[in-house]
Each structure stands twice: as C-alpha cells, then as structure tokens.
Amino acid sequence: MFESRWVRQLASVESGNNSIRVLVSRGIMNRGTTVLIVLMMIAVPLAGCAGGDLEEQISDLEAAADVDQATIEGLESSAEADASTISALQGQVASLEDQIAANGDVTELEQYNAQLISENTQLQLDLDNSPTQEDVDTAYQQGLLAGSDTSTLDVILARGTMKCGVKESQYGMGYLDAATGVRSGLDISYCRAVAAAIGLDPDTDVEYIPASGSDRFEKLASGVIDVLIRTTTWTTSRDADLNADFAGMNFFDGQGILIREDRFSAAASGNSATALDSANICVGIGTTTEGNMQDWFASREIAFTSVPVADAAEATAKFIDGSCDAFTGDMSAMVAKKWQLDTDGSMGGVDIWIASELMSKEPLGAATRDMDSDFKDVVAWVWYGMVTAEEMGVTSSNHGAMATTACAVNDAGSAADPGMCRLLTENLGLGTATNPLAGTWMAAVLDAAGNYGEAYDDAFCAGDYDGTSGSAAMNDCLISRAGTLNALVSEGGIQYAPPMR
C-alpha cells in the first residue's frame, strides 16, 4: 500500500512538474510561485499520511493550470489571426510603396499641388483687384503717382484734351448759357488761351468740369481737372496746405455784398453794409468769403447770422425766397448776380442793391498742382503774354503783321522790335523736353482769346473793344475796368507782366 501510494504521488509530481513547466514557459506563473509549489510537491513523499490535503491542493492547481493552458491556446490562436491581418496590411503597404515609386514622391506632389493652388488663388486675387480700363485711363491722365516726374503738360498732350475746372453760374467770369450751351467769361477765355498755347484746338479740345467752392481743390489734387481757373483767391493756406500752386492773376477782386431792399433800405443804410445788424447772410461753404465776413462784421461789432450754402445756385434760391437778407461773395460775382436777377425778373419786383464796401482783397487766378512747374509756367506766362500783348498794342487781328514788322532786321542786324519779336515767334523756354511749346504759341493765344483787354471786354462789356485804345474805350460794361486794379499799370491799375525774354 505504501509503495502503491508513493508511485501515485511520484506520478502526480511528474504530472505536476509538466504542468508547472508549461505554466512557467507560457509566463502564466512567476518563478517564486513555481519554486514554492515544487517544494511542496517534493515534500509530499516525506509527509506521510498528512499529504492527503496537500494532494488535493496540488490537484486543484493542476486543474487551474489546465484552464490557463486553454486560455493560452486561445490567445495563441488569436495571435495567429492578428499575424495574418498584419501580413495582409504589410502587403497593402508594399503595394502602396510600389505605386509611390511609380508616381513620384508624395511630398513633392503635395508641394506642387499646394503651389498650384496658391498660384491660382493669387491669380484670382489679381483678377479681382485688377484695375478697370477707366482706372488705367484715370491713372494715365493724372500722371500723379508718387515720385512721378511726368508733367501734366505731357499727360494732356498724350490724352489730346485739357480738363479745365470752372464755374458755370457767374456771368463775366464763368457762365454757361443753359439755352444755347455757350460758355463765356474771363475764366473761359483763359482756359481757351492755355489750350491754344500748348497746341490744342480751343473749340474742341477743352473739357470744362464744374468745380464748386467745396470740391475744387480736391478735384485739382486728384487729377479730375488739370488746371483750376474758377474765381479762386490766392491765399497763404491754399498755397501751402492744399497742394495748389497759383499762376497768373487774371482778376483783382474784393468781397462785396448784395442786399434785398425790402429787408434793409439802401437809402436808410447809406449804401453801407454797416447797417446790416442781425441780417441773415448767405455765404459759400469752403470759401475765403466765410472768414472775411466773420472778420469784417465782428471787428465792427455787428451781429449777423451766417447761412452756409453749397454753391451760388443754392444761395440765389435762398436770396430770392427770402431765407437770406443778403448774399456775399466776390464783388464781380455780386455785380453779375444783380444783373442776372434784375434781367430775369426772378425777384418779383423786389429791388436789390450792392453795398459800397470791399470787405477784403481777392486776387483771383489759375491754380495748378504743386511740383508741376513746367505746366504751371505755361499757365502763368499765357496770362502774362496776354497782358504784354495789350501793353504792346498787339491784338487778335494784327499779330501777324506786327510779328513781320517787329522781326524785320534793321541795318544794324537786329530785329526792329526784339521784345515783340520774341513774344510772337519764340517759345521762350516754355514746355517740357518732350513737348516744347511752338514758337508761335502767343499767336495761337491771341487767335483764341485776344489780348487781356479784348478778353476783358468780351467778358464784361459790349465786346467791340479794339484792343489798343484803353479801358475808357470799352462800352456797356457790367464791371468797368477803368480806374480799377484790373487796369494796366499804364492806366493806374496793377495788371503788370514780367519781361518776356
């Protein structure tokens, strides 16, 4: 019996050892546990009858080992399936690598595609932001890009037309007859003269653009107009701050005031603006007139209410309907406005009068853009040429004969009248390197506008002045030149030209 039990225990030990080996090899049991079990199993033969309980424990362990073995086999089966899946994925990766090798580097393809997308996006942005033909034409016409050395004169001649900023409502200076479409006035003659001097046709190649008191300098600076010839007063701030450069002064004016008789009687007021206490006075926005009026009335402690208006048309309407008791502006404008209202009967029988005072100095002239000296020189010397021509007795009708006589060589080998000959036959350095003025530029000016006296007579008088007889010979003048600052120096005025040489 003892032998038989020993044999069974030994067999059990052997069987347990096999199980333990399996468990250890599979990593199911750690080495400490294994050693303990082995010692217990070795101790069985030495334990005698007490080994029954231990045998049962070993049997339980063997049963647990069988369960673990089954688990291990399941995991191994699962691992084999995973290995098959991995192998399949590796095959797909290899296939993709073959495709990459055939089609090139994916990174390079992605970069190239990104570059194409970027270039396409930029092209679309360029297209969206590209200038229209109108933008191109405007930029070309302006010639005002920062740092550009292009002269407005060159731009005008390349375009073929000159854009002149003018007034349309002031008879005698800048006036548009709505019925006939005919423009007239001293400013219009000046525009025509400049166009003729640079070789354009003054009848077809001048584009007249209305310029109001509030937008004229903006239009000049932006290039909407090439030159501003619109009853514009030369002042320090305008010369320094508004990118404007003033040229010839074609009219020396002063500020006047037009008054309704039914609000302030001329007789009771002594024809003086000092009687306009508490008056409502229309005045143009953005004009020197605003500041002059404030200074004049405030210095005399006369109360008034300023009624700002956008332009002469609005001021006229408010003056007619009684919203304004008076209307102030350049004296030339007030005279022209009185003539217009008296003529068309729009005041409905209400008399109007002009105060005797001049509230300011208003030298009116043409303006070009700053840093545009070649064109500015042309604009200025066109006016000086018109004044010089009147001083010399050269007119629109006699300049051809005068040039022949003046340029005839005398016995000393000199021109008979060098100054007049230069005026009528030389460009005197005017123009640009690309477009110098023709030697006959002054003859073209005289054909287009006449000398200064002729232009003045056409603007304010009957238009029959001979151009040589002086201011007193002008007839039916709305504003007489005789005895005013606008007369030639020889007549006591201040219209004077530097030497033409």
Out of 292, 325, 360, pick the residue that ends a domain.
360
Specify the number of domains making up the chain.
2
Residue 33 lies in a domain: yes
Strands 162-166, 227-233: pairing is: parallel
Q: In b/e form, how buried is each residue of 359-373, taking b as 16+ CB within 10 angstroms?
A: bbebbbbbbbbeebe
- Starting at the edge strand that comes first in sequence, how are the strands of the sheet with 255-260 ordered? 304-309, 279-284, 326-330, 255-260, 352-354
Residue 245 lies in a domain: no
Structure tokens at 360: 């300011």
pLDDT for the residue numbered 274: 96
Cα distance between residue 337 and residue 351, in whole Å:
13
Q: In b/e form, how buried is each residue of 32-65, taking b as 16+ CB within 10 angstroms?
A: eebeebeebbeebeeeeeebeeebeebeebeeeb
Strands 279-284, 304-309: pairing is: parallel
Structure tokens at 263: 């609000």
Radius of gyration (C-alpha) of the chain in whole angstroms: 52
Out of 56, 91, 126, pick the residue that ends a domain.
91
Residue 127 lies in a domain: no
pLDDT for the residue numbered 41: 53
Cβ-Cβ contacts under 8 Å for 339 (sequence gap 6 or more)? 171, 478
Helix axes 31-42, 2-26, angle to 10 degrees: 170
pLDDT for the residue numbered 354: 97
Residue 34, domain extent: 2-91
Q: Is 393 exposed, middle or buried, given 0-12, 13-18 or 19+ CB atoms closer than 10 A?
A: middle
- On the CB side of 108, how many CA atoms lie within 13 Å of its CA? 5
Integer angstrom CA distances of residue 153 from 60, 138, 142, 443: 116, 15, 10, 19
Residue 264 lies in a domain: yes
Tell me the average confidence (pLDDT) per consecutive run of 10 residues in the chain, 501 residues long. Answer: 42 46 45 50 48 64 69 68 67 66 55 53 48 46 52 97 95 94 97 98 98 91 96 88 88 96 97 96 89 95 95 93 96 92 94 95 94 96 98 98 97 95 97 97 98 97 96 95 95 95 89
- Residue 138: phi and psi, rounded to 5, are -65, -45
Strands 162-166, 206-210: pairing is: parallel
Nearest to 461, CA basis, from 483, 478, 481: 478
Residue 330 lies in a domain: yes
Provide the H-helix boundaries in 183-235: 186-197, 216-222
Torsion sign (Cα): 170, 171, 172, 177: positive
Domain CATH code at residue 302? 3.40.190.10
- The 10 Å Cβ neighbour count of residue 24 is 14
Cα distance between residue 449 and residue 458, in whole Å:
9
Cα distance between residue 268 and residue 236, in whole Å:
38
Do residues 26 and 61 touch, judged by C-beta distance below 8 A?
Answer: no
Do residues 253 and 172 touch, judged by C-beta distance below 8 A?
Answer: no
Residue 197 lies in a domain: no
What global pTM score does this model have?
0.68
Cα distance between residue 231 and residue 189, in whole Å:
13
The three-class DSSP label of residue 468 is coil
Structure tokens at 251: 């009219």
Out of 328, 360, 392, pick the residue that ends a domain.
360
Cα distance between residue 255 and residue 361, in whole Å:
7
pLDDT for the residue numbered 139: 47
Q: In b/e form, how buried is each residue of 243-265, taking b as 16+ CB within 10 angstroms?
A: bbbbbbbbbbbbbbbbbbeeebe
Q: Is 143 exposed, middle or buried, given 0-12, 13-18 or 19+ CB atoms closer than 10 A?
A: buried
